[in-house]
Each structure stands twice: as structure tokens, then as C-alpha cells.
Structure 1
Amino acid sequence: MLKISLENIGKKFKNEWIFRNLSFEFSRNEPIAIIGPNGSGKSTLMQALAGAIPINEGKITYSNQEKTIPDENWHELLSFSAPYLELIEEFTLAESVNFHVKFKPFQNGLSTSDFLQIIELEKHKDKPVKNFSSGMRQKLKLGLAFYSQTEVLLLDEPTSNLDQKGFDWYISQVEKAIKNKIVIVSSNEPKEYIFCEKHLNILDFKIKA
């Protein structure tokens, strides 16, 4: 079974530690919420978990059946959704989805057509992404993360730009994902992680240099 282990990790910018001495373990069927106020370092931790930025000390380990997975292979195992992640503006919705699945196929052989119905945007399949509203963009990012054939789901501020209908859709989809993925949610909105029994408060790991 896949696990993500943090051993006394720390990240700093210049002389300020964003977090330090952070040890934790993430596993399947146990969704975790990374909480803390805006600007506290939640997104920085999420990016470190994804291998997108380096840490300054400690160790992050992905392992399966006690066998360590090289960090250059982490991207094959995870899906990441965040408001700041970019989409290819010139692509239509259908082109965006088809491009994505070339690198990360959908689970259970899901077709592009069925996926567009699931994210409730099938009527916009030929519309360029640059003409999408912020809510439509966020729903696309979430849908790609939920349905990619990956074992780790990282959700940073998942319901940003979503209306109530979009939020209800998010909750229904994330509850399905919990059953077979490592799910980590970064948020300062309790409603976004209501399904997480365990919380990791980034403020508990704030140490000045």
C-alpha cells in the first residue's frame, strides 16, 4: 500500500522558516486536511509533497510495500488541483482533456465524452479555455485530478471560484475519491475538508531561524 512519509522536513525562504521539524504520514482511506490561515505555508507544503519545490531539510518518502519510489517518479502517482495551476488557454475543453489523458489516462477507461458529462461541461466542449469563467476552469482542474488514474490526490483550495452547485459537486466527487486514494486537502475553509477526521495545522511547525 502506498504511503507518503515526512521526516523532520523544513522549508525556508531567506531566513524565515515556513515550516520546520514536520513529521507525518499519509495513507489511503484516511483523508488529511492541511490547515492554517492565508499565507501560513499550506500551498508551499503541498508543492513540496508533489515534488514541485525542494525542501531545505528532512526527507519526503513515497513508498509502496516498504519499497521506496524515486522522487523523479512521484508525478506518475499524483494528481494536483489548485487555483494557481495554469491551463492551456488556446485549447478547447475537449482538446484540453484529450491532451491531459495522453500523459495521465482516466481511471476505469473513462471516455472524454463521459468525463465531460461528469463535470457538467459537455455543452462547452468546443469552447476555448480562455473563454471559460473561473468556476468552469476550477471544475475542469478538479475533474482532471479526481478522475486521473493516480493514487494520490492533492487539492489546494479546492472550491475557490465555485458556486454552491459547484461546491455540492465537489463534495460528491471527493467522497468517491477517498475510497481508493491518498487524499490531502489544503484549506482554511472547514467546509472544504468536512470529510477529514485528521488535521495537520501548519502553525504547529512555525519556528523562526
Structure 2
Amino acid sequence: MEQPLLSVENLGKSFKDKQVVKDVSFGVKRGKITAILGPNGAGKSTTIRSVMGIMRPDKGMVQYQNYPKQGVPHQVVGYLPEERGLYKNVKIMDIILYFADLKDYPTKKARSRALEYLKKFGLEGKDKVKVEELSKGMAQKTQFIASIIHEPELLILDEPFSGLDPVSQDVFKQEIRELAKNGTAILLSSHQMNLIEELADDLLLIHNGKTVIQGSMEEVKEQYSNYKCVIIGDNAASIFTNVPSVQNVKQDGKKTVLYLERGIHIPTWLSHMPKEVIIQEMTIDRISLHEIFVGIATEQNLMQTVGEVHA
């Protein structure tokens, strides 16, 4: 089995009398995207800052593969923090080259790569523009370029999609996938569940500082995401009362959502649908990562360890 490039074991951190991270363990492998999820205050940023060495954890170990000390060597890691921070009166190219120099990366190579990324991110010809003249989205693209300019082995992205328009989100997603494809180990934190669902290979969901869910995307979906059936049509909720394996029914106008039991055979289940049901549209898929997240974040028992959906 491939060993993680980054290993975090039993990480713990407290502020005064409050323990915000409690025995969190995970690994990030080369060429894989690992996502840390959780509601506000769950301990995501504290975990990331502890990995980066910005904070000193009270307990636990952060180990980088073949590195003789604890922690991550600064030359091999790229970091996009949640709190964006660029020198406002500095030109884009100068700030990117400055970050490259901090990582001991060759200036000539960094300049060439910067021009390529500026073009890819729609910033061609703006290399001499000062940061203070950029829109929020453009500044975020600049900081993203600065975080990857030195070809890091490990890339840590804390809320990278925040404030980006859909087109820019797609550009970021494409680049993140490309970096992983080329072997970069990526640790990603985001509140946008639909984007995580598209990108992540492995998931770590923490709540109140503790690990709640951990595993590959496939494992998590299999364990926690039961099927749901969405029907568009003018139907009363009572019509579905005797349909087997329906655990919960939600209605919003003409939209009816049926949450189904674990392990059902969909073709067989469909054969029990009442003939009087009006179906203008119908989809059947697993409940989303967003629904799992909301269920845990609001502590409404959306899912249990057996995967039952109660919503």
C-alpha cells in the first residue's frame, strides 16, 4: 500500500479551556485530493495551521515522508490560506517571484511559469499591474499562482473557491485536477460541497474537533448515502404512504423527495410505484455530500452509522 506523503496522527489543540481539535488523524497521498470538511468552528483551519507549523499542536505528530524532523519542509509545500493576504502596492509579477524566491525556486523558471499561468487564468498582460488594482477574484487567482509557482509536492488549499465566479471556479477545478494528475498531494478545505464531491478522492469530516467520517469518496457514499427519488408532478404526499422502503417524504410544491432504505434494488422498488402517481420528471440518485454535511452540522441525524436517512 502506498504510504502517505503527509501523515497526521492524533493531532490535538486547545485554546484556554476549549479543545478545538481532538485526536485527528489522516494522510495525504501523492496524486490524490484529500478534503477536510466541517461546519464553522469544527477545527478545520486549526488543523491546517498546525500542519503548516503556523500553530504548535498540543499533542500529536505531523510527519512528511522521508523528512527527518516533525513538520513539513517549507520548500515543498504550497499554501493558499483562507485569509487572503498580498502586498497591495506590489506588482503581480513581483509578488509571484517573491513567493518563488521564498521557496528557493529559480527566478527565470518562475517568471516563465508565471506568464503561462497568468494567461491560463485570464490575467495575460497584467503582470505589471499592482495588487490593489485587482478585483477580489483576480487577486485570488494571483495568490493561487503564487502558491503553486514553485511546483510544490504538497499543496494546501483553504477555501480556494470562496468569492470566485462559476467560470473561475471551473478554471481552479481544472488546475487542481491537473496538479493531482501530475503527482501533487493536495489537502483541500471548502464549504462548497458540490465542488468537493467533484474533486476529492478522500474525505475527512470533523465536527466539534473530532473525526466523524473518514474514507475514500466511494466508501463514504456507499456507507452514508442512501438513495433518494425526486419526482416532479402534482402529487399528494399521502399517495406514497404504502410504497415500500420509503423512510421519509418531503414535498415542496410539485417536487416530492422520497428518501429510501439502505440496500434496496431500484428496479424492484420502482415496480411498487402507484400507477396514479403523476411523473413529469423523475431522478434517482444517492443523497449528496451536502445533505450528509448538513445533517451532521445541524445534528438532525440525517444519517446514522447504518446509513439510514431520516432528514
TM-score normalised by the chain length of structure 2: 0.60
1:116 and 1:159 map into 2 onto residues whose CA distance is 18
Shift of 1:153: 0.5
1:201 and 2:205 matched:
yes
User: 1:93 corresponds to which letter in structure 2?
Assistant: I
Alignment of 1:154-165 (within 5 A): 154-165=156-167
Q: Which structure would you say has the larger RCO, counting Cα contacts within 8 Å and 6 or more residues apart?
A: 1
Residues 28 and 72 of structure 1, relative CA distance in 2, 3 Å threshold? closer
Alignment of 1:1-209 (within 5 A): 3-64=5-66, 68-71=67-70, 74-104=73-103, 105=105, 109=109, 111=112, 112-179=114-181, 180-193=183-196, 194-203=198-207, 205-206=209-210
User: 1:99 corresponds to which letter in structure 2?
Assistant: Y
Shift of 1:103: 2.4
The CA RMSD over aligned residues, in Å, is: 2.4
1:72 and 1:20 map into 2 onto residues whose CA distance is 18
User: 1:196 corresponds to which letter in structure 2?
Assistant: A
2:27 and 2:4 map into 1 onto residues whose CA distance is 11
User: 1:178 corresponds to which letter in structure 2?
Assistant: A
Deviation sequence 1:53-100 (CA, Å, 0-9, x none) = 110111111123xxx343476211100012413111111112212222
Shift of 1:39: 2.4
Shift of 1:19: 1.3
2:23 and 2:202 map into 1 onto residues whose CA distance is 19
Higher share in helix: 1
Deviation sequence 1:164-192 (CA, Å, 0-9, x none) = 11101011100111121110101121133
2:23 and 2:97 map into 1 onto residues whose CA distance is 41
Larger Rg: 2
- Matched residue count: 204
TM-score normalised by the chain length of structure 1: 0.87
Secondary structure of 1:84's partner? coil
Which runs of 5 or more residues in structure 1 are unaligned?
Answer: none
Identity of aligned residues (%): 26
1:102 and 1:205 map into 2 onto residues whose CA distance is 36
Which runs of 5 or more residues in structure 2 are unaligned?
Answer: 212-311
